[in-house]
Structure 1
Amino acid sequence: MTDSQNKMHLVFGGHVSDPRTLDFDDFQTMHIVGIYPNYEQAEEAWRAWAQRTVDDAEMKYVVVHLHRLLEPEIIDPASK
């Protein structure tokens, strides 16, 4: 795996006050799915959990690019 493929991603979800935003209601009840070594695995986990909660319009799962937070100076806008 190359460095461009090995980038940490966090997947988590929780209830939001408005499904069009990322304003999470209760940080105590947020679900941390996990940390993944690449976007493909993170997306797979995100899709699985988003599908499980598809009937709850106020539940939202997201993928956070941890590598961008850890090393902001190397952000490549074209990469995931």
Structure 2
Amino acid sequence: MTETTEKKQLLHLVFGGELKSLDGVQFKDLDGLDIVGIYPDYATALVAWRSKAQLTVDNAQMRYFIVHMHRLMDPEVK
């Protein structure tokens, strides 16, 4: 008997924007945030994050982040 197991979705959000200063995580323009996308796992989100971070490497105040959405949706799951 063959079981079909579907990979569990652990959603991750990749977004970024220009920071007010290098000392914190406050954005200059919340309306201008770059929502890159939502990804089904960390590895896929990391690829997207690296791509966007590399494109903006010349702007020290531009930062991209990966948010572990699955932890917000179900804090019991690691």
Same fold (TM over 0.5): yes
What runs of 5+ residues in structure 2 fail to find an aligned partner?
1-5
Give the SS at the match of 1:61: strand
Q: CA RMSD in A?
A: 1.2
What runs of 5+ residues in structure 1 fail to find an aligned partner?
none
Which residue is 2:75 aligned to? Answer: 72
Would you identify which runs of 4 or more consecutive aligned residues in structure 1 move more than 6 Å? none
| TM-score (structure 1 length as normaliser) | 0.83
Which residue is 2:3 aligned to? Answer: none
Which residue is 2:45 aligned to? Answer: 42
How many residues end up aligned between the 2 structures?
A: 73
| TM-score (structure 2 length as normaliser) | 0.85
Q: Deviations over 1:30-67 (max 9, x none)?
A: 00000000000000000000000000011000000000
Q: Which amino acid aligns with 2:70?
A: H
